[in-house]
Amino acid sequence: MTAFSLEPAQTAWCEELRSLAERHLRPLAEQGTPGHVNRPLIAALGEAGLLDRMLDSGALDLCLLRESLARGCTEAETTLALQGLGTHPLVRSGTPAHRARWLPEVRAGRAVAAFALSEPGAGSDAAALALTAAPEAGSDGRGWRLTGEKCWISNAPEADFYTVFARTAPGTGSRGITAFLVPADRPGLTGTALDMLSPHPIGALEFDGVPVTADDVLGVPDRGFRVAMETLNLFRPSVGAFAVGMARAALDAAVEHTAARTAFGGVLKDLQAVSHQVAEMATRTEAARLLVYAAAAAYDAGEPGVPGRAAMAKLYATETAQYVVDTAVQLHGARALRRGHLLEHLYREVRAPRIYEGASEVQRTIIAKELYASREASA
């Protein structure tokens, strides 16, 4: 079998997902209010069993899920992905009590999750975060008070709970960070919506002495950075899958348009300049797809070098999607920039993935570090 080709059952599942997204989820997405959590859409994802599948799947299944939904409805894809990003630390490192309280709600589409890592001064440099968790007096090391802020947090301030990363050991870099599960109604926690180029809410969170205890810790105290990186290593290839889904949607639109549109006395597809552009779009999209699948397969197999491969997948796929969508817009002309056109929508959506969960520059740094570490290990 060709490497990374899909089984017939997988291909059929992907087509079912795309159809579900186009016919059922997209209308719900269109009824939502931009900048706010679309709870009916989340409930529909739960009813369809997709939140269950997302939380229980490996990296490859997650990539297929995100790519297929993105081809049919980017809002549905992003809504599902944000639920996974905020909940995966709980799945991987939560206590039985955490799981019993929140997982049934997330799986059913009743609870909204958020991943609170970024700060005003610690976006791409996650190890530089400054939100402090000061020991609570008289708690015998079992309680803290969170003070500081988070920024650019998807689903804030409307989430029901947050996975929050705070510094419990000053001056220790990434080694002194602890992950906490913080319900949205915890005293001292407030949020503000940010006006962003995004269909889903993005906000800032203020922590004014928010109380947390050992029962709120995800994993081990002072080892929360590992919780964050485990989550990002899983989701980075799937961000690439989201990008591939958008690229494939733009490519589909470009093929349809250039095959039917007449100009300069003929059909656009018969112009070599046009057909070569479409060929380049298709080739880059396929290369990105295979790189994403390879990274996901490596993650599922527990192979070494996953951070570097995940970084390659996210980097190449998101950069490729930007190129493919932009080229599709160029081939369509002014009609692609009308509000409501698929490509106008994709043009707005495709920019953010090159920044979040590690900007393209961060991915290049990770790739280079992996290469040089491998060289030193073999020397």
Read off the pLDDT band of 124 (50, 70, 90). Answer: low
- Name 292's Cβ contacts closer than 8 Å, sequence gap at least 6: 63, 67, 237, 238, 240, 241, 244, 313, 317
Residues 101 and 131 in one domain: no
pLDDT exceeds cutoff 90 at 140: no
Asked if residues 227 and 93 have their Cβ atoms less than 8 Å apart, the reply is yes
Residue 244 lies in a domain: yes
Read off the pLDDT band of 4 (50, 70, 90). Answer: low
Active site residues: 357
Q: Could you tell me how many residues make up the chain?
A: 379
Q: How many domains does the chain have?
A: 3
Residues 89 and 183 in one domain: no
Residues 368 and 298 in one domain: yes
Residue 2 lies in a domain: no
Read off the pLDDT band of 12 (50, 70, 90). Answer: very high
Read off the pLDDT band of 76 (50, 70, 90). Answer: very high
Quick one: what percent of the chain has pLDDT higher than 90? 83
Domain membership of residue 97 as a residue range: 8-107
CATH number for position 132: 2.40.110.10
Residue 88 lies in a domain: yes
Q: What angle do CA 247, 196, 346 make, to 5 degrees?
A: 15
pLDDT at 3: 57
Residue 242 lies in a domain: yes
Q: How do residues 160-196 score in pLDDT, each as one tens digit?
A: 999 999 999 887 777 899 999 999 999 999 999 999 8
Name the token pair of 364.
Answer: 């290049």
pLDDT at 128: 81
Residues 201 and 339 in one domain: no
Could you give the residue ranges of the DSSP H alpha helices within the chain? 8-20, 26-31, 39-47, 50-56, 59-72, 74-93, 96-107, 224-260, 272-301, 306-332, 342-349, 360-378
Domain boundary among 187, 222, 257: 222
Domain boundary among 81, 107, 133: 107
pLDDT exceeds cutoff 90 at 117: yes
CATH number for position 367: 1.20.140.10
pLDDT, mean over the chain: 93
Q: b or e along 349-365 (b: 16 or more beta carbons within 10 Å of the residue's beta carbon)?
A: bbebbbebbbbbebbee
pLDDT at 184: 97
pLDDT at 137: 78
Residues 296 and 340 in one domain: yes
CA 210 from chain centre, in angstroms, equals 27
Q: What is the mean pLDDT of residues 325-340?
A: 96
Residues 216 and 230 in one domain: no
pLDDT at 173: 73
Residues 178 and 92 in one domain: no
Q: How do residues 235-252 score in pLDDT, each as one tens digit?
A: 989 999 999 999 999 999
pLDDT exceeds cutoff 60 at 1: no
Residues 331 and 316 in one domain: yes
- Name 176's Cβ contacts closer than 8 Å, sequence gap at least 6: 167, 168, 169, 170, 222
Residue 16 lies in a domain: yes
* Torsion sign, CA atoms 325, 328, 330, 336: negative
CATH number for position 79: 1.10.540.10
The Cα–Cα gap between 88 and 233 comes to 11
pLDDT exceeds cutoff 60 at 2: no
